[in-house]
Structure 1
Amino acid sequence: MDRVNYLASKRAAVIFTKSTCCMCHSIKALFYELGASPAIHELDAEASGREMEWALRGLGCNPSVPAVFIGGKFFGSAKDVISSHVDGSLKQRLIDARAIWF
């Protein structure tokens, strides 16, 4: 959990993903479309990826990826990101965290 929290605090927007996950790809594309440049951590390419995956599950991510952190805090999974995008709050959250500027 320490490694996840450390990585999540390094950038305004952080996404933990797996390279084979289609939802991960969609969430990354959405962030890029909104103008954010999130830090991407591919768990299947990280030496401690399995441990980080279990830590993310401990936060309530099921499935464990994509797991999104905004402003150093756990924001949620794909479902949470898409819901907040639809209701218009995702963009403001990214602005507040200084992940995008408008």
Structure 2
Amino acid sequence: MDCVLKLASQNAVVIFSKSTCCMCHAIKRLFYEQGVSPMVYELDELLNGREIERALVRLGCSGPTLPAVFIGGKLVGSTKNLLTLHINGSLEKMLKDAGALWL
């Protein structure tokens, strides 16, 4: 768990993803289209990817676990949470507060 928290705190936006997951792809696109360059960790390409995914579950990510998004070092959640924040306008403020968006 410490490894995940350390990785999540090193960039304004961190996404734990799988390269073959369509919802992970959609969430990454959401950030890219807003001009945000998240740090993305593709768990299916990392040797310790399964361990990281188990740590995400222990941190509170629930089914589906991925994508798991951290903004400003804090767990925001998965697809449903991100889309809700985007639709209600809260995501932009979070990104600005974390220093990931300057507009």
Compute the TM-score of the two structures, normalised by the length of structure 2.
0.96
Q: Which runs of 5+ in 1 are unaligned?
A: none
Matches within 5 A, 1:63-82: 63-82=64-83
Matches within 5 A, 1:79-98: 79-98=80-99
Secondary structure (helix, strand or coil) at the match of 1:85 reads: helix
* Distance in 2 (alpha carbons) for counterparts of 1:60 and 1:5: 12
**Residue matched to 2:45:** 45
**Residue matched to 2:20:** 20
Superposed CA deviations along residues 38-89 of structure 1, whole A, max 9, x for unmatched, are 0000000111100000011112222111000000111111100000000010
Shift of 1:26: 0.3
RMSD: 0.7
**Residue matched to 1:31:** 31
* Distance in 2 (alpha carbons) for counterparts of 1:72 and 1:23: 21
Q: Number of residue pairs matched? A: 102
**Residue matched to 1:9:** 9
Q: Which runs of 5+ in 2 are unaligned?
A: none
Compute the TM-score of the two structures, normalised by the length of structure 1.
0.97
Q: Percent identity?
A: 59
